[in-house]
Amino acid sequence: MAGVVIVTGGGRGIGRAVSLGAARRGYSVLVNYAGNAEAAASVVGAIRAAGGTAEAVQGDVAVEADVLRIFEAADRLGQLAALVNNAGILTQKGRVDETNVDQLRRTFDVNVIGSFLCAREAIRRLSTRHGGKGGSIINLTSVAALLGAPGKNVDYAASKGAIDSFTTGLAREVADEMIRVNAIRPGIIDTEIHLSGGDPGRVAEMRAQIPMKREGSAEEVANAVLWLLSDEASYVTGATIAVTGGR
């Protein structure tokens, strides 16, 4: 048995594809969601219908008490094997000189603090230093961290820049504790994040700038996540895989 994987934001988009793919590979899946209970329930239903094990748990990754509750729910499912730090937000677009401080704080709270808190709880369970048996952590960064998203989402890009440094540092910190830490860098992926970021036309608008001339799918990102989770990636840590169609 592959053990338990926690997928934050596992009810929609990339997280949904990761949850379904992980279940197909034998993981018990803890599907975390923030507000969309119906989407998370649909993922859990699909996994159970296929004979797998899954549980949905509401929780805001930016809230420490919620993170503790998410991990307690995972503990009830079995031995933790992996964490996919997927939950992320893209708030309304705007320039830096139009910055709204609440929006800025929320972006960093969810995208950065949330990933740190979840990683902390995962390490406390996985690390040989804490009596664990090892495992894997995957962070979702973005091509925006390299491009900066000027005029639109510099806040989001900077939060993902923090995830890049976090991945490098954490990977080296726990490399000899049997934990591999890696990241996936998606480009333009066809999910609802563009709509919630106030830019519903973004995917169509960006298509021409992508060398492959098309957006990626959530499943194409999930495939890279699942490879990094697997034993096939046993000597890979501190790495970031770009899933960008060449961008």
Give the interface with ligand NAP as residue ranges (CB under 6 A).
8-9, 11-15, 32-36, 39, 60-62, 86-89, 110, 114, 140, 142, 186, 188-189, 191-193, 196
Q: What residue has token string 């995830």?
A: 163
Minimum separation from the CB atom of position 209 to ligand NAP (A): 13
CA separation for the pair 158, 174 (Å, rounded): 24
Is the Cα dihedral 139, 204, 106, 13 positive or negative?
Answer: negative
Q: Which is nearer to ligand NAP, 28 or 191 (CB)?
A: 191
Q: Which is nearer to ligand NAP, 168 or 196 (CB)?
A: 196
Neighbour-count burial of 238, counting CB atoms closer than 10 A to its CB (0-12 exposed, 13-18 middle, 19+ buried): middle
| 33 catalytic residue (yes or no) | no
Minimum separation from the CB atom of position 133 to ligand NAP (A): 26
Minimum separation from the CB atom of position 29 to ligand NAP (A): 13
Contacts of 169 (CB under 8 A, 6+ apart): none
Minimum separation from the CB atom of position 61 to ligand NAP (A): 4
Residue 9 — φ and ψ, nearest 5°?
Answer: 60, 45
Q: Do residues 40 and 10 make contact, with C-beta atoms less than 8 angstroms apart?
A: yes
Contacts of 94 (CB under 8 A, 6+ apart): 100, 152
> What residues are annotated to the active site?
156
